[in-house]
Every structure is written in structure tokens, then in C-alpha cells.
Structure 1
């Protein structure tokens, strides 16, 4: 059997539609990021350092749990539907079942555990209810809204996916402005209600927008369960790694440093969106091209690497130059903010470089290898970040960030090139075997 499959076109003309899609996708993510940053700024200013640090802590817990919600079924939907549209009803039902089941477990576990660590109200029942509401909002409803975006991406409808991103971000900004500016919300408990209502309305709008794509067929696609877990576990471990330093800093430093550091982290995430915009439009096409072997997409991946590196450098420089303006947006009580943002701004470059490799591994279905390299990197990174943050806060935190991300570049590209070589050798053996049998 020959190594036939979809191959990457030579030259750059075939990439023109993709470039246009990137401009639209990148523009939507930039608008969405700007709206998210404005939301974050409104909350930081009106909640104050103490309340805002509590909000950040609970959100950090939810950001870990949200990757477990759905057990990685979204990636399976994008990969499978991009290759075969007819399987969409089964993959949608698969996602809904896993999201509801895992979301219920995560919300209940968090609602009974977090009240021992966070007091959002002096009344125990109210405290439980507010925390549960925040978990439903930031785990289940966020997962549902992101699922809508991924469904559109699976169908290569990037315009609708962009509308979900921008609409969600703008809706949260409007909710924050109404809650804080118009109605004077100044506590996490009061903001939690506004946040919940906002997310419910956005989720309903997404469900309405998806109605024309077909109804779900409820069943568990068993062969995709391990693939989904392989996909989600690295993100869970990475979220743990990303929040290990925040947890340690909250134990050994002041609320101002924790709050300023969390804003700097948000700025880093926002700058990475320019690279994510590229990855999200590349993924469906890569899934089709790699169906016959990862080596078919090597040229494509190297081109994406060059583009991602250039984009990340531009994003880092932009954040570095704009950092001095942030205190006017977030408030001058965040005295460490400018230095923290500038210290973290260049991390996006190695982050972008290794993300290209893991996206290619994911698109080709090599989730076990992808999970191994990301999981081990996150475990080692969590330990290093926690130790560095405890030993020399906050300078050690920043140094650990660069060490971890550069190490991930080496590890992920080593694994990626190994699988390219393996697929190429396997294809050659199959081709030779076909010639022998033909004779």
C-alpha cells in the first residue's frame, strides 16, 4: 500500500484563503481579548485588591476543572467532524453527555470543598450557594460556550466561531460594566450573580445559532474516550502548573503581588491569542492532511512555525511597550503591575513555538505522545514553579516561567520530529510491501 493521502500544496497561493481566515480569526480574538481585559480591569478596580485576589483564586480553581469537564470530547468532535461531517450528531451527543456528567461531579466536589478555604459570605449556606454558582458559571457554562465555538470550527465556519468569541467577551464586559458601574457591585458574591446570568444568556444564544447543524444523537463514542482523556489531561496538568506559582505566592506574599501577578498572567494569555488564532484555523486542515501520516504535514507545520514565531514576537513587543499604560486602566494600587507584565511578556515566544508542535500531534491523533510530553512537562514545571516562587518570590517565579517554556520547546519538537520520521519510514515499508505483492 502506498502512502497516499492528502498532501500539502506547494507555494503560497493556496494559503491566501487561510491568511484571510487568520486575519478574521485573529481580529475576533484580539477584539475578544480587549473586551476580556476591560472586564478584568473593571473588576480589579471596583472589587479592590482583597476581593479581587479571592476572585482570582476561585477562578484559578475553575480554570483547572474546566479542562476536565467534558473529558476532552471537544477535540474529538473537531477532529472527527473535520474528516467526516456525517458523524456530527454522534459526536455532539457524546460531548453533551460527557459535559453534563463530568460537570455535575466537578461542581459538587468544588461546592463542598472550597467553602473551607474561601468565605464569600458570613452565612454558611449563602457561601456554599455563591461558590456553587461561580463553579457552574466558570466550568459548565464556559465549557458549553467554548463547545459552540469548536463546533463551528469543525465545520470550517470560522466566521460564526469568531462571532461566538467576540460576542462572549463583549457580553461579559457589558455585564461587568452594568454590575460595577451602574449597580455598584463591589464584592465577589454580588458579581457572581451577574456573571451567571451573562453566561446563561450567551449559552442560550449559542444553542440557537447551532440549531441548523443538526440534532444530537445521544451515545458515548467509546473509542474516543481514551483519546479525549489523553487530550484533556495535559491541559489539566498545565493548568495545575500555571496555578502552582499563584498558590505559593498567595501564601508567601501580599494580596497586591498576587493580584498584580494574576493580571500579568492574563496579559500573557491575551498576547498568546494571536497565536491561538492561527492554530485554530490550521487544526481542521491538519487533521485531514495527517490522516495518512504526520509526515504529509511537515511542510505545513514548518510554515506555521515561522508564522507563529513572527506573530508571537510582535505580540510580546506590543505588550512590553504598552505595559506602562496599565495602571491607568486597572488602578494605581497595583504597584507591581508594569514590572510584572514586562517580565512575562516575552514568555509568549517559546510558548508559541512549542504549541505548534503539540497542535500537529493532536491533529494527527497522537494524543498519547502529546499527553506524555505535556503531562511530564507540566508536572516538572509545577514543582519548579512552586519551589522557585517559595524560594525567591516573585523573581524566582519569572525565571521558572522561562526555564519551563524553553524546556517544552526542546521536548515537544523532539517528539514531533520522531513521529514524522516514524510515519515516513512506515509509509516506505508499506509501499515496498505493495510493490512485492504486486509482482
Structure 2
């Protein structure tokens, strides 16, 4: 009898349903991204430059902290529930405990530290209260909502996961429109209350929606804590890396260069959504396929690589062609925008290629190796970006971007193939021992 997982290569879903699921998944991410841009546009216009810049700064801190909230427990929920749905109550309880504990610690730390750097109200007590409210909203409540999406993905209910993504984005846009346009909110302090109420409403709806899937069994799954940390730390380091070049450019170049580069980076992130949609769709199946070893899923991973490469090339070409339209959207003051976007848009191709490898490592549970590749890549990338941006801005920044992404392709696929060879050898030894 063939070992578990060996039939995965012939057991993939039919091509047409997979395409339909991908289009739905990609469409939900694109709609979510578009709604987020509209939300930011409303806030930027009504809050004004100073208030909006403070809002973005605090949100950026929260975006880094949110990767620590839960200590990576969501990934193990997707991976293990995709293989065995009976374990869902335990994994849900594991997530609730870690999210509540780590989220409370992060909010408390931020409430103590951030008021020394940001002033949202002249009254110190009000300032601390508003910052705390923003941290609760953007760390704890966001984590609850994203957890709902991941729960549906673990159950391969992609339609419901897509509804969560689109619904959450639409709710934030409606809240911004009501607060700013209808009620004339012009300060972060007042917007924080609207944002909090919006997130509470969405979180309550999400909790109600998943009630039918089972109630949590509150216990810590100890063996998954290191795996979760291995999963989350690379994202934290990557978030830090993504801000290193912007910080240096702000010190050594003009505001226009920094602004145009920031928009180009956002366009790159948006173009990557097409690949992220594919990885999001593939991950549960890859978790099942790799249960008997990575070597059993190598053909599947190669097919995903081919699809991701084609999709990323199409996204890069689209952004390159549409780049001249951007000044009409962002304004004529962005003199370098078109050139920056056209230089940076092709980075999505190597980014897509190495993301396939690290997603396969994650699906197989090889989080130590995955964290090592992504962590070292982020640290090296941050150092290279800082040096290159300081030495030869902004062209050095672009060259460093391509250098580190190409190096990540080589490193991630080398590690993946090493694990494939290791699992193949172990399977051969096990089979040999069984025959004897």
C-alpha cells in the first residue's frame, strides 16, 4: 500500500474549479486592497497632513506588533486542521489563549511607550487613552477578524474566507466615509473611536459566524509554540526590513523621492496580491500533501511555481503599462513616480518565486528552516538596503531590492530541495526496513 500523501499528485482538484477558486480568492484580495486605498484616501483628505501622518505612524507600529500577537498560532491552526478537522477545538482554544495573552501584553507595552513619541491630545490621560484604543483596534481586534478568515481557510471554505476579507475592507471604508464625510471628523482622536466601533462590530459578526464550526477547547498545544514563533518572527523582521530603506531615503533625499518611492512600494505590494491569492488557496492542500514528506508534494510545488511565475509576470507587465496613469491619481507633484514604478514592478517575479518555496516549507511544518531563510534574508536585506540607500540613493535602493530578492530565490529553493532529498532518503530507509 502506498504511504499517505503519495496520491496527492493525482488527487488535486480539477483545473476549472481551482481556477474559479483562485479568481474568487484573488478578487477578494484585490477588492479588499482597493477598499483600503479608498479608506486611506478619505482619511488623508479629511484628517489633513499632520493628523494623517500620526495615524499612519501608529498604524505602522501596530502592523509590526500584530505579527507577534498570537505568536504565530494561526498558521498551525490552518496546517493541522487542514489535515485533521477533529483537532479544530483544541487549535481554536490554543489561538484564543495566545492571542489574548500576547495581545494584552503588546497593547500594554505600546500604551506605556508610544505616548512619549506621539501626541493625539494635549491632555496626557486622553492621549494615552486614544493610543490604547488604537492599539486594541489594530492589534487585538484585527487579529480576531483575520483569525476568522484563517479558520475558514483551514476548513477549505474559501467563499466564506473571501467574504470576511471583502466585508472587513468594506466596513472600514463605510466607517471612514460616515465619520469624515457625514460627521466631519478631522482628528485622529475622534477617528480612533469610529475605527474601534467598526472593528468591534466586524469582530462580533465574525465570532457569531464561526460558532457552528465548534467551540474552543482551552489548552496550550505546547509543541506548536516554537513552530508559531518560527512562523511569526520572519514577518516581523520583514516588516522592519520594509521600512529601513524608507527611513534612510528620508534622511538623504528629497521629500518627492521618498513619496514617489513609497507609492511605488505600495504598487509592488498590490501587484503581489495576485500571487498571495494563489498561495492562500494552495496552502491547505499542500499541508495535506506534505504529511508524508515534502518529496511527495514536489511535483505539486513545481506546478505552483510555474503558475506563480506566470501570474507575477502578468502583474508586472500590467503595472508597467499602467504606470503613466498614476500621476493623474496621485498628483503631478510625484515627478519620479512613473520611473520608480517601472523599475520596481519586476521585483514581484523573484518575490513570487521564493514565496512558493517558503510556503511549501511552512505547509510541511519545517518552520525552523523557513524562519531561518526569511529571517536571515530580512536582516541581510535591511543591512544592504540601508548601505545602498545611503551610498547611492535612490538607484542603490533599487539595486539592493533586486539583489536580495534574487538571493532569496536561491536560498529558499536550495533549502526546500535539501528537505525533499532528506525526506526521500528517510522514506527509502523506512520502506527498506519494512521489506526486511
How far apart are 1:196 and its partner, in Å? 1.8
**Structure 2 match to 1:248:** 248
Structure 2 Cα separation of the partners of residues 247 and 186 of structure 1: 27
Equivalences, count = 436
Matched, 1:341 2:321: no
* Correspondence 1:21-420 to 2 at 5 A: 21-253=21-253, 257-332=257-332, 334-420=334-420
Structure 2 Cα separation of the partners of residues 11 and 105 of structure 1: 44
How far apart are 1:195 and its partner, in Å? 1.9
Q: Which fold has the larger relative contact order, with Cα–Cα distance below 8 Å and residues 6 or more apart in sequence?
A: 1
With 108-117 and 65-74 compared, the bigger mean Cα shift is at: 108-117
CA change 1:276–1:286 in 2 (3 A) is same
Structure 2 Cα separation of the partners of residues 92 and 53 of structure 1: 36
Structure 2 Cα separation of the partners of residues 175 and 340 of structure 1: 33
SS in structure 1 opposite 2:119? coil
How far apart are 1:162 and its partner, in Å? 0.4
How far apart are 1:321 and its partner, in Å? 2.6
How far apart are 1:335 and its partner, in Å? 4.9
Structure 1 Cα separation of the partners of residues 4 and 128 of structure 2: 58
Deviation sequence 1:331-380 (CA, Å, 0-9, x none):
55555544443333222111111100000000001011101111111111
SS in structure 2 opposite 1:95? helix
With 207-216 and 171-180 compared, the bigger mean Cα shift is at: 171-180
With 377-386 and 66-75 compared, the bigger mean Cα shift is at: 377-386
With 174-183 and 45-54 compared, the bigger mean Cα shift is at: 45-54
How far apart are 1:33 and its partner, in Å? 1.6
CA change 1:128–1:257 in 2 (3 A) is farther
Cα pair 1:82 1:288 within 8 Å, conserved:
yes
With 200-209 and 74-83 compared, the bigger mean Cα shift is at: 200-209
With 309-318 and 406-415 compared, the bigger mean Cα shift is at: 309-318
How far apart are 1:109 and its partner, in Å? 1.1
How far apart are 1:170 and its partner, in Å? 1.1
How far apart are 1:12 and its partner, in Å? 8.2
Cα pair 2:81 2:155 within 8 Å, conserved:
yes
Structure 1 Cα separation of the partners of residues 177 and 331 of structure 2: 16
Cα pair 2:9 2:297 within 8 Å, conserved:
no
Deviation sequence 1:306-327 (CA, Å, 0-9, x none):
1111111111222233333334
How far apart are 1:53 and its partner, in Å? 3.2
CA change 1:166–1:301 in 2 (3 A) is same
Structure 2: unaligned runs, 5 residues or longer? none
Cα pair 2:120 2:127 within 8 Å, conserved:
yes
How far apart are 1:64 and its partner, in Å? 1.1
Normalization by structure 1: what TM-score?
Answer: 0.93
How far apart are 1:176 and its partner, in Å? 2.0
Q: CA RMSD in A?
A: 2.2
Structure 2 Cα separation of the partners of residues 424 and 243 of structure 1: 40
**Structure 1 match to 2:432:** 432
Structure 1 Cα separation of the partners of residues 157 and 133 of structure 2: 32
Structure 1 Cα separation of the partners of residues 202 and 216 of structure 2: 20
Normalization by structure 2: what TM-score?
Answer: 0.94
SS in structure 1 opposite 2:23? helix
Deviation sequence 1:20-40 (CA, Å, 0-9, x none):
211211111121122122222
SS in structure 2 opposite 1:121? coil
SS in structure 2 opposite 1:68? coil
